[in-house]
Amino acid sequence: MPFRARDVSRHDGAMNGKDVDISGVNARLVEAAEAGETIEVILVVRGKVRPVRGADRRRWRMRVDSDHVLTFRADAVVAATPVPPGSGSGTRRR
């Protein structure tokens, strides 16, 4: 049974992780983990992307903030869209 997090919209229409009630999502993930169930998880992640070094050219690395990096395979990507400047992405320019 799919579950969607309830969003709490900001006045500018942008959202971040602090704007979402995750209690239902956490409950669903706990349920799936305890049952050993295979599930499909769809994530929305913003950050700078680079290929992973090495022979496997299907893997990508995304810096989502100053402390966190996510790696993923290209075949798991459903869509990749540009983030408009000033959209509240939370990324800092260096």
29 and 71 inside one domain: no
Residue 21: the pLDDT is 82
Tell me which residue range forms the domain holding 23. 1-41
Per-block mean pLDDT, blocks of 10 residues, the chain (94 long): 50 58 92 97 91 88 91 92 75 46
Instruction: In whole angstroms, give the CA distance from residue 35 to residue 20.
Output: 25
28 and 58 inside one domain: no
53 and 91 inside one domain: yes
64 and 29 inside one domain: no
- Number of domains the chain is built from: 2
18 and 59 inside one domain: no
Cut 0.75: pTM above it? no
29 and 7 inside one domain: yes
Question: What does the block give as tokens for 54?
Answer: 């090495």
50 and 19 inside one domain: no
Residue 8: the pLDDT is 43
Q: CA distances (Å), 57 to each of 25, 35, 48, 84, in order? A: 32, 34, 17, 27
